[in-house]
Every structure is written in structure tokens, then in C-alpha cells.
Amino acid sequence: MPTPTPPLCPVHRTPMTPKISAFGPWFLCVEPDCDYRVSADRRTGEPLGTPTDAAGREARKRAHAAFDALWRRDYEGNSRRRSRCYRWLASVLGLTEAECHIARFDVARCDEVVRAVQALTAGRADWRGVLLSARFDPPRDSAEAEKGTPEWGLA
């Protein structure tokens, strides 16, 4: 297995320690009272997203629950639908598609995801048609998009 570069704890700025659990590899902070961690890819050992604390993990779960419902409904293995939903989300959040990963979002950004999904679906019967047929043009300039994306969620 290649040796991944450990992410830094956003609070302590120290390299995090790799661990293996029943759920796969992950990184945790060496400081005893620090709750920041991030799971890692089983194959490469690279961190999947940015380290976050319990509040951040809960926020990411809420965002995934709201967002995944968009593309999972009547999904039937239609991966174009999934990528279209991601394109919509990137467009709404002003991110490039490469930057649009809930595993990298902070609490505020996750709440934005939930609100965006609610705004899309609330009180309009045609939201699926709008979502699945519209063109989305997220920003291509990553420097521009990163201004609105705090890396560590410590706002």
C-alpha cells in the first residue's frame, strides 16, 4: 500500500495518525481530547475529504441525506442523473464540479446544501424536470471558487 501524506489536524496543525478500523482506514488527531478525524480510501489510504469534528460529521450526514435523495429517487443505476445532480449542486454553490464534494464541506456549506435542496423541491411539482433538463455552468476558475470554500470548516 502506498504511504499517503497524513492530513493536518485543522485545530492543532499536527499530522494526523493513520488507523485501521472495521469500517476501513482513517486518520485521527494525536491530541487526546481532539475529535477531528477523516476516513481514508481503502485502496490508496488517501483521506476522503477534510478532517472534521462531530458537528461537522453530523452536518455532512444531513447534507448527504438531503442531496442523495435527489438522485437516488428512481435512480435505477442512471449515473448521468447523479452527475447532473452534482452539476446542479456545484452551480448553486458556485463551485467547480471537482470542488463539489460534501466530504470537504464545513457546517455552513452543508446547511447551504440542505437549504438548496429544500428550495429546489418545495412547492414545485416540476423540480425533477428542471433539475434533469437544465444546463448548469459552475465556475471554471478554481481560484474564484475557493474563496467561498473554507478548507477546514473553522469559520
Q: Binding residues for Zn ion, per CB under 5 A?
A: 9, 11-12, 29, 31, 34, 36
Min dist CB 129 to Zn ion, Å, is: 46
Q: Establish how many alpha carbons lie within 13 A of residue 124's alpha carbon, considering only the half-sphere containing its beta carbon.
A: 11
Min dist CB 52 to Zn ion, Å, is: 11
Q: 27 vs 88, which CB is nearer to Zn ion?
A: 27
Q: 53 vs 112, which CB is nearer to Zn ion?
A: 53
Q: 17 vs 118, which CB is nearer to Zn ion?
A: 17
Q: 11 vs 132, which CB is nearer to Zn ion?
A: 11
Spatial separation of the C-alpha atoms in residues 39 and 47, rounded to whole Å: 6
Min dist CB 11 to Zn ion, Å, is: 4
Min dist CB 18 to Zn ion, Å, is: 15
3-state secondary structure 57-117: HHHHHHHHHHHHHHHHCCCCCCHHHHHHHHHHHHHHHCCCHHHCCHHHCCHHHHHHHHHHH
